[in-house]
């Protein structure tokens, strides 16, 4: 009898240990995964991040670089290297895109849309960059993103690792300089040929009781010297937007999440050169800021949600990439990992017209073409009214006509199993690039 009881006690103990172990593993995964708002802390979080998981779309980015394709869920025709849908249309532009090569080296490629091939490539010297920066040491070679690269007239590039230092390399992929400063997201030149890039302040305001990330933007010379840095929180406070900052919702560590700081390049009757278009993802707000007077000219909170990439298209009209999502840990809407998509909502390109204060929908990306990216995405309205779109989380670039039809799609296919992820590409018209340095 005692022997039977001992066996049962042994079995129950083993079962209890198994349940506790599974619970612990699940808890750690939840705390350190993308589904947790402040995840990826420490080595454990980084290791959990490396787990490849298939989503409903059939793939998920691994280590921010490679995309694993599940052939049972993916239409491979859509993933041809260059898929043309409009055979009568000829595109003479270029795409500058950051991705990886087959050996997982971070590279930036210049793709000629007319020739349908890469005409130049840069390889980022990640090991050397990491040796010469104190910023975001958790970034490793596997997770280095050459984000939103900017090409200069001599063939050199400026980029960051999206939460790392700002780096300039020459056309031979050698480092010109490293700005040891926490920078991220968009990179643009203003009318004076200075670099405008989002950053994070090193110091915290005295009044800040709770720990928050202090987003800012910096102005940097082409030689890598910081000219000025301005806090987004202070800009909003000076312009009396206290309710937007502090009056809605619960405490948020990443309160602002600046994902675009884009300068106006010339004057017209609505804007002045070096005005800044700013996009705060976590406030679902975009606004036009005039540094010369420290005034916000206009600010719009919605109807976009967690938007990216605001552009000025002239005549008082601005276009915004609307992601149409809210963060998953609110647990109130339809799941779409790693964030939730509002029911009946979608990615779209919206337009704000300063003249009449009207907002219209230019392109319904998800409804018309099943284009959806939850946490990133960039666009550009082209001269003929088409739109260039990077579907970042699926690693695909599209050109879409005014009537909503895809003209072409590009993906950086590495082999039959993998495609390289994208890190904010740029479209250039032929006349916008001086390629004399190629010779």
- Centroid of chain to Cα 143: 14
- Is residue 44 predicted with pLDDT exceeding 80? no
Mean pLDDT score across all residues of the chain: 81
Q: Write the CB contacts of 242 (distance below 8 Å, at least 6 apart in sequence).
A: none
> Bigger pLDDT: 12 or 97?
97
- Is 195 within 8 Å of 222 (Cβ atoms)? yes
* Distance in angstroms (rounded) separating the CA atoms of residues 42 and 322: 32
10 Å Cβ neighbour count for 428? 17
The SS3 assignment for 355 reads coil
The SS3 assignment for 171 reads coil
**In the chain, % of residues over pLDDT 70:** 74
Strand-pairing partners, residue 159, are: 167
Strand-pairing partners, residue 160, are: 147, 166
Of the candidate ranges 101-105, 197-201, 393-397, 432-436, the one whose mean pLDDT is the lowest: 101-105
> Bigger pLDDT: 211 or 269?
269
Task: Band the pLDDT of 5: cuts 50, 70, 90.
Answer: low
The average pLDDT across 162-190 equals: 94
HSE, side-chain direction, 13 A CA sphere, residue 106: 27
**Residue tagged 């963060």 (tokens):** 327
What are the tens digits of pLDDT across the range 330-368? 444 444 444 555 555 689 999 999 999 999 999 999 988
- Is residue 65 predicted with pLDDT exceeding 80? no
Residue 314 structure tokens: 């002239």
What are the tens digits of pLDDT across the range 314-340? 999 999 999 998 765 444 444 444 455
Omega before 303 within 30 of 0, i.e. cis: yes
Domains in the chain (CATH in brackets) are: 72-438 (2.120.10.30)
> Bigger pLDDT: 52 or 153?
153
pLDDT of residue 212: 78
Phi, psi of 21 (to 5 degrees): -65, -45
> Bigger pLDDT: 250 or 311?
311
DSSP string, 221-278: -TTS-EEEEEEHHHHHHHTT-HHHHHSSSS--TT-S-EEEEEE--S--SS--TT-EEE
Q: Are strands 396-400 and 66-68 parallel, antiparallel or unpaired?
A: unpaired
pLDDT of residue 23: 60
The average pLDDT across 167-185 equals: 95
Q: Which of 348, 328, 346 is nearest to 338 (CA)?
A: 328
pLDDT of residue 428: 97
- Is residue 222 predicted with pLDDT exceeding 50? yes
Task: Band the pLDDT of 279: cuts 50, 70, 90.
Answer: very high
């Amino acid at each position: 009898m005692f022997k039977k009881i001992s066996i049962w006690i042994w079995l129950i103990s083993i079962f209890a240990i198994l349940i506790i172990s599974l619970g612990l593993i699940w808890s750690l995964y939840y705390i350190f995964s993308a589904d947790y708002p402040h995840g990826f802390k420490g080595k454990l979080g980084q290791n959990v991040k490396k787990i490849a998981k298939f989503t409903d779309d059939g793939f998920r980015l691994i280590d921010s670089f490679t995309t694993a394709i599940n052939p049972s869920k993916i239409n491979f025709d859509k993933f041809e290297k260059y898929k043309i849908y409009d055979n009568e249309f000829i595109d003479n532009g270029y795409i500058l895109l950051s991705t990886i090569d087959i050996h997982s080296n971070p590279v930036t490629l210049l793709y000629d849309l007319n020739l349908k091939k890469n005409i130049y490539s840069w390889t980022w010297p990640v090991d050397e960059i990491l040796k010469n920066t104190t910023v975001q040491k958790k970034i490793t070679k596997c997770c280095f993103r050459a984000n939103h690269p900017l090409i200069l007239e001599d063939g050199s590039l400026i980029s960051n690792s999206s939460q790392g230092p700002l780096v300039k390399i020459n056309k031979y992929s050698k480092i010109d300089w490293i700005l040891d400063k926490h920078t991220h997201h968009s990179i643009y030149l203003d009318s004076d040929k200075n670099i405008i890039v989002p950053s994070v302040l090193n110091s915290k305001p005295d009044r800040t009781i709770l720990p928050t990330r202090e987003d800012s933007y910096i102005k940097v010379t082409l030689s890598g010297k910081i000219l000025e840095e301005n806090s987004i929180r202070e800009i909003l406070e000076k312009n009396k937007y206290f309710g937007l900052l502090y009056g809605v919702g619960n405490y948020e560590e990443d309160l602002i999440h600046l994902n675009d700081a884009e300068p106006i390049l010339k004057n017209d009757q609505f804007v002045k050169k070096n005005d800044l278009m700013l996009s705060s993802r976590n406030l679902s707000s975009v606004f036009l800021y005039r540094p010369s007077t420290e005034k916000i000219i206009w600010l719009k909170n919605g109807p976009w949600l967690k938007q990216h990439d605001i552009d000025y298209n002239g005549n008082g009209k601005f276009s915004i990439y609307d992601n149409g999502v809210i963060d998953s840990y609110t647990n109130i809407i339809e799941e779409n990992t790693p964030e939730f998509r509002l029911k009946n909502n979608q990615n779209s390109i919206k337009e704000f017209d300063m003249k009449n204060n009207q907002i219209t929908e230019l392109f319904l990306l998800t409804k018309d073409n099943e284009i959806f990216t939850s946490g990133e995405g960039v666009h550009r309205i082209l001269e003929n009214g088409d739109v260039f779109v990077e579907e970042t989380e699926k690693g695909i670039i599209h050109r879409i006509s005014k009537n909503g039809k895809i003209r072409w799609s590009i993906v950086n296919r590495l082999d039959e199993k993998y495609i390289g992820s994208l890190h904010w590409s740029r479209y250039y018209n032929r006349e916008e690039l001086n390629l004399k340095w190629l010779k």
